[in-house]
Amino acid sequence: MTYVDGFVAAVPQENKQAYLDHTREALSLFKDHGATRMVENWGDDVPVGKATDFHRAVLKRDGEAVLFSWVEWPSKDLRDYGTKALEQDDRMKTLAMPFDGQRMIYGGFSPIVEEGSANGTGYVDGIALPVPLANRAAYINMASAMACLFREYGALRVVEGWGDDVPDGKITDFRRAVEAREGETVVFSWIEWPSKQVRGEAWPKLMTDPRMQPDKDKMPFDGQRMIYGGFATVLDA
């Protein structure tokens, strides 16, 4: 994998099956145009934050769930080509939308950290955060160390994507979701676990591991604007 499209959306709980049907139809279209993997994750443990969170990111309403999803491509060039082809594909025009697409946030991300392999993912920790462009190297160093630590405690795979094609939206977007400031980009990242149980057993141990206690004065991003949550994988193809 060398490029990622990341998505976050709000879907009515009652439309879960319709959404799954929608994603299976979309999967065949993305694969026809070069995508290598598509993963959809249904909000399961998505906390409300003080400053930012996934709920506010998509203006979630009562009775809706937050979806955290991504599409993997062999390269950015093939992603750009595939996206243009998708826009011209008549099948996209008839694809049913069981959610409010205007509140979906999306963007393109170049992986800067990738540890492990996708094999049997059952649960995902999804994360988005703002990082100053000047702190790219420092962020990669920190994220690489954390990825190895997550793998040690049972994670299958950890990916960090650096935002390089993150458009402004009319209603919502990734930049507003994390209150990104001038000179910052958005990082879209995730941790893949074999199950919610493994993830649940790992986190208490991680939180007491001294290696998870970074020097706050040297943090390469503002953790108060990071948004995160736990998501059950409903499609991985």
Task: Report the SS3 class of residue 95.
Answer: coil
Beta-bridged to residue 165, according to DSSP, are: 108
CA distances from residue 75 to 81, 150, 161 in whole angstroms, order as listed: 10, 26, 13
pLDDT band at 57 (very low <50, low <70, confident <90, very high): very high
Task: Report the SS3 class of residue 68.
Answer: strand
| Res 213: pLDDT | 84
CA distance linking residue 75 with residue 77, whole number of Å = 5
Q: What is the pLDDT of residues 119-155, one digit of tens each?
A: 899 999 999 999 999 999 999 999 999 999 999 999 9
| Res 216: pLDDT | 74
Mean pLDDT within 162-185: 97
Is the CATH code 3.30.70.100 the one for domain 3-236? yes
| H helix intervals, 89-160 | 90-93, 136-152
Mean pLDDT within 159-163: 98
Q: What are the residue ranges spanned by the domains of the chain?
A: 3-236
| Burial (CB count within 10 angstroms: exposed 0-12, middle 13-18, buried 19+), residue 31 | middle
Q: What is the mean pLDDT of the chain?
A: 96
